């Protein structure tokens, strides 16, 4: 009965959210012309990347911080212990995973590079990178992650720290994440490059640390 109750409540919430979205009226302010007019000064050629990393960069900064905070919450309740490797999968699946992972890494770097002028960017690239790590775990080739060591902690926090460092450096000039036009492209590329690795590790960690905790309980 408890499961039915939770499922029913979740269904009602989904229906309410769907109804609210369908009832939304047109936006009172169309920002697309303003974004297009200043796109040349943003450092990138794609409007979504310009909004996420330039015009509303502080929103993206907080989103990364929330993901990292969620991972910290998981680590806080995960019992420490040695890394646990799942049962080996079928050899054919392992071989397919070893073939797929390099292609996923190439796709991840492509999405990172393409984000400057077409759909892509750090979040998409990081998600593909995380999927590669999860695939290796599901095929028994990567153990669940125990309590992270110094190197993994550095990788998890590097993207946010670089983002904060750039924001602090620009704040000295009197503005938060308002890039100088001559340096905007380079700074955004630096932030996205660091975020790709960190987001990949964070998203994979949300799965791999939980797998480790579940293995310990068993």
Six token digits for residue 91: 């050899």
pTM of the predicted model over 0.95: no
CB 147 within 8 A of CB 217: no
Task: List, for residues 148-176, the tens digit of each pLDDT value.
Answer: 788 888 999 999 999 999 988 888 877 77
Distances (CA, A) of 134 to 25, 97, 123: 40, 10, 16
At residue 89, what are phi and psi to the nearest 5 degrees?
Answer: -85, 180
Q: Collapse the DSSP code of 133 into the 3-class scheme (helix H, G, I; strand E, B; otherwise coil) and give the result.
A: helix
Residue in 60, 170, 187, 51 with CA at minimum distance from that of residue 126: 60
Task: List, for residues 39-65, the tens digit of each pLDDT value.
Answer: 888 888 888 888 888 888 889 999 999
């Amino acid at each position: 009965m408890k499961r039915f109750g939770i499922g029913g409540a979740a269904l009602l919430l989904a229906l309410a959210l769907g109804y609210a979205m369908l009832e939304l009226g047109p936006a009172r302010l169309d920002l697309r012309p303003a974004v297009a007019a200043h796109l040349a000064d943003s450092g990138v050629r794609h409007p979504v990347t310009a909004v996420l990393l330039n015009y509303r960069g502080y929103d993206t900064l907080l989103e990364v911080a929330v993901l990292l905070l969620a991972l910290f919450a998981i680590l806080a309740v995960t019992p420490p212990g040695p890394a646990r490797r799942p049962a080996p999968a079928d050899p054919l699946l392992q071989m397919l995973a070893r073939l797929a992972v390099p292609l996923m890494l190439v796709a991840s770097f492509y999405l990172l590079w393409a984000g400057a002028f077409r759909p892509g960017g750090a979040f998409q690239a990081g998600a593909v990178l995380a999927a590669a790590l999860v695939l290796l775990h599901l095929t028994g080739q990567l153990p669940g992650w125990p309590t992270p060591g110094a190197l993994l902690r550095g990788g998890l926090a590097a993207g946010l720290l670089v983002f904060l460092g750039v924001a602090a450096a620009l704040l000295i000039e009197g503005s938060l994440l308002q890039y100088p036009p001559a340096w905007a492209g380079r700074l955004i590329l630096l932030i996205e490059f660091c975020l790709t690795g960190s987001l990949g590790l964070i998203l994979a960690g949300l799965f791999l640390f939980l797998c480790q905790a579940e293995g310990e309980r068993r």
